[in-house]
Structure formats: structure tokens, C-alpha cells
Amino acid sequence: MVLPRKLPGMPGWPAALGLRLPQKFLFLLFLSGLLTLCFGALFLLPDSSRFKRLFLPRRATSSSSSSSSSSSSSTRDTELPRSPPAAAEPRHASPAAPRRLREKLRARNAAPAAHTAPASRPQGPDGERPAEVGTGAPRESRAPFQFDYERFRQSLRHPVRGGRPDQDPDIRARKMKIKEMMKFAWDNYKQYALGKNELRPLTKNGHIGNMFGGLRGATVVDALDTLYIMELEEEFQEAKAWVEKSFDLNVNGEASLFEVNIRYIGGLLAAYYLTGEEVFKSKALELGEKLLPAFNTPTGIPRGVINLGSGMSWSWGWASAGSSILAEFGTLHLEFLHLTELSGNPVFAEKVLNIRKVLKRVEKPQGLYPNFLSPVTGNWVQHHVSIGGLGDSFYEYLIKSWLMSDKKDSEAKKMYDDALEAIEKHLVKKSAGGLTYIAEWRGGILDHKMGHLACFSGGMIALGAEHGGEERKQHYMDLAAEITNTCHESYVRSDTKLGPEAFRFDAGTEAMATRLSERYYILRPEVVESYVYMWRLTHDVKYRQWGWEVVKALEKHCRVEAGFSGIRDVYTTVPTHDNMQQSFFLAETLKYLYLLFCEDDVLSLDDWVFNTEAHPLPVNHSNFKAKASVQ
Ligand code: DMJ
């Protein structure tokens, strides 16, 4: 319909029709409704993209889909690359960042045909930026980035699973027993809780919780790589099918940035590297993008909680003065570097290199890293230092960053060495009974307590010791062995032979919980994690023996009719179960126990580092680094 133009001196069209004021109003209302309907039809009908293309320039359409956080994962690999950042040098890359990584990012940004990433939005010096969802910028007609998976597999020095069966039938039988435990844990989860986050094995139902922002299937994603390396083929296929068909990333809830990263992103990355299945990679990348708004703070230190739908982020209510937690923002580095490796998008690496820059700059009391840092000022909020909860995996990721970089990231190694030296000087103590432990530090006052979480440190110190000079190496191997022994003592001193959540060294107590609230065991892995590293690095059979004692205790006290459950008191042999099969039991505890009885080349430490949820991520050997092909 063509509307006549209003001519000067002539009444307008409705007036020309002789309409009165209310009629005119109704007429205009009708007209605007009609227009809205037409446009709505163009943009909202199911297959409206075809119409949109008629109206919108091609690039703008691509852009909207590239930046959409709900883009279909199946299209990820055919996506066009994103537009280049404004500057060749990543905005947040630290001047002290590992040179090779910076060169790699620079080369990628400069390469005309290579992928490039969107520029980070400018960050005001003194205020919050509005959260941004995704990092997509308009895509340009460049070739897609493609990680060369085959090349990566060829770079591995050992087979990822299988290997020669052990000569010793007892070892073979123990390995099989642990595999059976995994199958039992998985089968029950599948039967009673598939799609929920955890299994409740007593009530035979699922648990969702509030840590993952509406994401489901934490146990599925956490279990993938364990099922795969144990050669539980059918079960692995079940888990993979769930990820393909039911793993929905379009959720709208409050998630822990840390937990989503270590369990979901770590689990998906490991599953991809082990199997080459594209679905795991695309889901990991899609989820990784959803985490990026958490970094939109004045310092770039992310906040702990993020709404995966809106991108809004905030600090935990319990964290002092809106602070971020060391073990949370310090436990992103490994996964985020791999997100960049696989996507060709430098934004992920930039975010974690910036965290390191902030941490390098801030003054460390006595060389120590307190657990609470303000994401606004970049200063410590409290002087509480712990190698257990709130601090733990920050230290782990420093040494593992160095190992994962094929020992090129000397900045991470130096930070780790300095931190460990300070910890040893101020926190490491020996009890009257001769047990070495790592206390907690509150502004110079020691709390003579060690959490179960801190027991990972035996393995970490052993891993780091491998690479010092001879004398230094021996010193740290001894320290690692002593701490692992103390953690073992916390197990053997309990009636169940499982360790409490925390144990103390005061008032005549050694390696035992003194408070009722610290007597529980929730299927945690840290002690067996240290046994695995100590076994692989020393081959002292006592570590296998200690691991086997844990298997027996789990069978006796935690196995119930429909899965495994935590217990509320390790000091009673008629324990009360907590009705929860934690997802990390499948990701970590059972995986570490299994590896304890495997040949060393199964997930060899030459090829892999384990993220803090025991998901293996490959060492970036130079022969696959930056060999991604541009198609
Ligand atoms: C796991 O989710 C990870 O190991 C994390 O680093 C600490 N806690 C649990 C297991 O205890």
C-alpha cells in the first residue's frame, strides 16, 4: 500500500478521509500494530534468518550469531573467525608474560589468514564495566581456525590408556577392582540421577545444588575421561551421548566460576584431547565464552560468581569485603590457555595472563599470598594464608603452568619457587611426634591445622622437586614424602581408615580432628592424589599399599546399595552416610586410585598435567604448539 504524502496546505491523510480525533487515534494505533506485526514476522518466525538476510548486510548477521552465547555447538567449527583486536599486542598481556606465549598470540593476531580474537572492551580505571556476554565481534571473511588434532596426537610420547598388563596378578586384580568401583558408581548415577549433578545413593535420586548456575550433568562431564581411560567403552558412550543430546548451556543461574571451570571446562577439554570428539571441544569453548564477563572488573581479577545467562557477576557473600578468592581466580590458567589453543582466540589467555600480572605487582606479606584479594583495587583484603581451602590450587597451577608449557613458562616457576620458599619458612612445622605439617597463617599467627584439601601438596611438592638441582630436589622430595606421610597418618589414626576434613596439631593432638564439625569425609581425593605422584616419582611400593588401604576403606564404609556415599564421622565404624556421591569421586578419587596401579605411561606425566579436578590436559610440546592449520 502506498500512502499519499501530506502536501503543504492540504490536510493529512486521515484528516482527508474526514476522520474525527478518536477515530484518527484508533486508525494510527491500527497502523502501528500492522507495522509491528510485519517486522515481528520477519525477525521472529522460526526460520527468519533467511528474511533477515534480505534486510541486513551479511556481516551484521554473522556478527550477531558469533556473539550469541547460545550459538549451536555443532556449528562451532564451521564458524568464521572473529575480527582482529585493535592492537596487535593483547591488551592485557603482561610485559612479563612468557615470551613464547606472547609471541604466539602476536603472530596469530598479525597473520592475515589466521584466526584472530575480538578486542577486549576498554576497561575504565575506576569503575565497573557493564557485563558483556560472549566476546564475539563482527566476523570477517577469513578462513576458519582449526586445531590440528592429528598432529597433537602424534606429539604424545606415550599411549593415553591401555598399555602392557602388569606382570603381577595382584596389581592387575587391584586395577580391575577399582574399575569395577567406577562402573558401580557410574551405573547407579545413570540409573537414578542421569542429568542431575550428583547421585544421592541412599535415597536413590539426583541432586542439583547451586554451584553450577543451572548447568546439569556435573557427574557425566567429570566422569568422561575416567570412563575413557578405564576402557569402560559402553559407559563412555552413554556419557558422550548425554553430552551430545542433553547438555544444555543455555542456562540462567548463578554459578561458581571456579567450579564450572575445573569440572566442566576441564572435563570437556580432557575428553576432547583424549578422544578427538568435536562435541567436547565445541561445548568447552562455548562455555568458556560464557565465563568471560566475570573478568569485567577494574583489575581484571574475576569475581567468584557469575550468572551464565545474563553475564552478571559478583563476589561470594561470605568473602570479606567483596573480595575474590586466591584459589578461585588462581585456578583458571591451565584451562584458559587450552581454550585459546583450541579456539585460536587469544582472549582466554589474555585474561589469565592479566591475573598473573596483578599478582606479580601486589606486595606479598613475608612473600606469602593471602587468600582474599579485591577485584576493584587489586589489594589483599585479609592476611589469611592457607595451602588448603581458599589457597590450595593457586600454588598447584603455578607449577603445573610451568610443566604444561613444556617448562618454558619460567615466570610461573619462579612464582611457585618463591611462594613455596615462603610457605616453608613460615608455615611448615613439625609436631612433637615428628609429623611434618603445613599450618595456616592469620596475619602472622599460626593455626596448627591442616585441611584434607591441603593434602594435595605432597604430590605438588614432589612434582616441583623433580626439576630443581640435586640437593634442592632431595630436600623437596623429603618434604613431599613427610607431608604425604602425615596425611596418611590422618587416615590410619581413624577407625574407618579414612581421613577427616581437617586435623590438628595442638593440645596433645596429632593428625586427628578435634572438632565434631571436622570429622567428616566426603570421598575427597587429595590424599590418594599425593600417593600417585609419590608412586610415580619414587616407585616406593608403600604408596600403592596405602592406596589399596583406601580402596578397602571405601568399600567397607562408603559403598552402599546404590553407589558410594560420604560419611559424617571417620572415627566411628558405624558411620552415618551423607547421601552424596560427589562428582569428584569419579573424576579424581577413582581415577587417581586406578592410575596408582597402572603403568607409568598411562596418562604419563611426560605428556599430561592434571587440572585440579584430575582432568588431564596435554603438555604443550613444541611439536604441536602453534601448529594449528588455517584452512
Ligand atoms: C575438587 O573439586 C578439586 O580437587 C578442588 O581443587 C578442591 N576440592 C575438590 C575435591 O576435594
Tens digits of residue pLDDT in 485-524: 999 999 999 999 999 999 999 988 999 999 999 999 999 9
Higher pLDDT, 80 or 471: 471
**Catalytic residue check, 588:** no
Give the closest residue to 482 by CA, choosing from 429, 426, 417, 416.
429
Query: What is the β-pairing status of strands 436-438 and 428-430?
Result: antiparallel
* Cβ-Cβ contacts under 8 Å for 521 (sequence gap 6 or more): 452, 496, 498, 499, 500, 501, 558, 566, 567, 570
Look up residue 133 and give its DSSP letter: -
Alpha carbon 299 to its chain centroid, in Å, reads: 21
Please list the residues that pair with 385 across neighbouring strands: 441
Atom of ligand 1 minimally distant from the CA of 259: 2
Strand, helix or coil for residue 390: coil
Helix (H) or strand (E) holding 187: helix 169-193
Q: Where are the beta strands (DSSP E) in 90-210?
A: 145-146, 198-200, 205-207
| Cα 201–chain centre separation | 26
**Residue 40 main-chain phi, psi, to 5 deg:** -60, -45
Centroid of ligand 1 to alpha carbon of 612 (angstroms): 6
Q: What is the pLDDT of residue 575?
A: 84
Residue 13 reports pLDDT greater than 90: no
Nearest CA to ligand 1 atom 6: 612
> From the CA of 360, how far away is ligand 1's center (Å)?
25
214 Cα–ligand 1 center, Å: 20
Helix (H) or strand (E) holding 412: helix 410-426
Distance between start and end Cα atoms, the chain: 49
User: What is the DSSP pairing of strand 324-325 with strand 145-146?
Assistant: unpaired
Residue 508: count other Cβ atoms within 10 Å of its Cβ. 8
Say how far apart CA 222 and CA 225 lie, in whole Å. Answer: 7
Q: Could you say which DSSP state residue 601 is in?
A: T
**Cβ within 8 Å of residue 34, ≥6 positions away:** none
DSSP assignment of 46-96, as one string?
TTTHHHHHHHS-HHHHHHHHHH-TT--GGGGGGPPPBPPPSSSS-TT--TT
Q: Which residues are documented as binding site? A: 612
Tell me the three cell numbers of residue 383.
Answer: 592476611
Helix (H, G, I), strand (E, B) or coil at 449: strand
Phi then psi for 131, rounded to 5 degrees?
A: -65, 145
> Which atom number of ligand 1 is nearest to the Cα of residue 614?
4
Q: What is the pLDDT of residue 3?
A: 33
CA dist 122 and 112 (Å) reads 24
Query: Mutate which of 526, 580, 583 to test ligand 1's pocket (most atoms within 8 Å of Cβ)?
Result: 526
Grid cell listed for 212 = 553450577
Pocket-testing residue among 212, 256, 262, 387, ligand 1, by greatest number of atoms within 8 A of Cβ:
262
pLDDT band (50, 70, 90) for residue 99: low
Report the pLDDT averaged over residues 43-55. 35
Q: Are 616 and 270 in contact (CB under 8 A)?
A: yes
In CATH, the number for domain 149-618 is 1.50.10.10
- Residue 153 burial by Cβ neighbours in a 10 Å radius (0-12, 13-18, 19+): middle
Contact residues of ligand 1, CB 6 A cut-off: 393, 453, 524-525, 584, 588, 612-613
Task: Residue count of the chain, please give it.
Answer: 631
Helix, strand, coil share (%) of the chain residues, nearest 5: 50, 10, 40
In this predicted structure, what is the pLDDT of residue 622? Answer: 62
Residue 106 has pLDDT above 60, yes or no: no
When pLDDT is cut at 50, 70 and 90, the band that residue 22 belongs to is: low
Q: Is 277 known to be catalytic?
A: no
Residue range 106-131: mean pLDDT, rounded: 33
- Closest-lying ligand 1 atom to the alpha carbon of residue 522: 11
Tell me the three cell numbers of residue 234: 559402553
Confidence class for position 26, pLDDT limits 50, 70, 90? low
Q: Compute the distance between CA of residue 24 and CA of residue 554 in angstroms, rounded to an integer.
A: 80
Mean pLDDT of the chain: 83
Question: Residue 21 — pLDDT band, cuts 50, 70, 90?
Answer: low
For residue 85, pLDDT beyond 70: no
Vertex 432: Cα angle to 431 and 437 (nearest 5)? 5
Instruction: Single out the catalytic residue among 396, 411, 501, 607.
Output: 501
Q: Can you give the pLDDT at residue 545?
A: 98
**Residues 406-433: tens digit of each pLDDT:** 999 999 999 999 999 999 999 999 999 9
What sign results for the dihedral spanned by CA atoms 404, 463, 545, 456?
negative
- How much distance in Å is there from the Cα of 614 to the middle of ligand 1? 9
132 is catalytic: no
Residue type, 545: Q
- Please give the number of the atom of ligand 1 that sits closest to the Cα of 524: 11
**Domain boundaries along the sequence of the chain:** 149-618
Q: DSSP assignment, residue 532?
A: H
Which is more confident, 106 or 525?
Answer: 525
Active site residue 392: yes
Residue 6 — pLDDT band, cuts 50, 70, 90? very low
Q: Are the C-beta atoms of 59 and 139 separated by less than 8 Å? A: yes
pLDDT confidence of residue 469: 84
Which atom of ligand 1 is found nearest the CA of 392?
A: 6
- CA torsion, points 349, 354, 359, 360, in degrees to nearest 10? 100
**455 CA to middle of ligand 1, Å?**
11
User: CA angle 423-428-430, nearest 5°?
Assistant: 175
Among the residue ranges 28-32, 426-430, 453-457, 567-571, the one predicted with the least confidence is 28-32
Top-confidence residue, 110 or 526: 526
Tracing cell 590418594 back to the chain, one arrives at 528
CA distances to 100, 332, 412 from 407, in Å? 11, 18, 9
Q: What is the pLDDT of residue 1?
A: 34
Query: Of 289, 328, 350, 392, which residue is the catalytic one?
Result: 392
Q: Tell me how far apart the alpha carbons of residues 466 and 261 are, in angstroms, rounded to a whole number.
A: 28
Question: Ligand 1 centre and the CA of 362: distance in Å?
Answer: 27
How many alpha carbons fall within 13 Å on the CB side of residue 411?
15
DSSP three-state, residue 274: helix
Backbone phi and psi for residue 550, each to the nearest 5 degrees, phi listed first: -65, -40
445: enclosing H helix or E strand: strand 445-447
Residues at the binding site for Ca(2+) are 612
d(Cα 427, Cα 194) in Å, to the nearest integer?
43
Question: Would you say 323 and 373 are in contact if contact means Cβ atoms under 8 Å apart?
Answer: yes
The answer on pLDDT for 588 being more than 50 is: yes
Q: Which residue has its alpha carbon closest to ligand 1 atom 8?
A: 453
Beta-carbon contacts of 109 under 8 Å, excluding residues fewer than 6 positions away, are 84, 85, 88, 89, 90, 116, 117, 346
What band does 36 get if pLDDT is binned at 50, 70 and 90? low
pLDDT band for 100, please (50, 70, 90 cuts).
Answer: low
Give tens-digit pLDDT for 359-386.
999 999 999 999 999 999 999 999 999 9
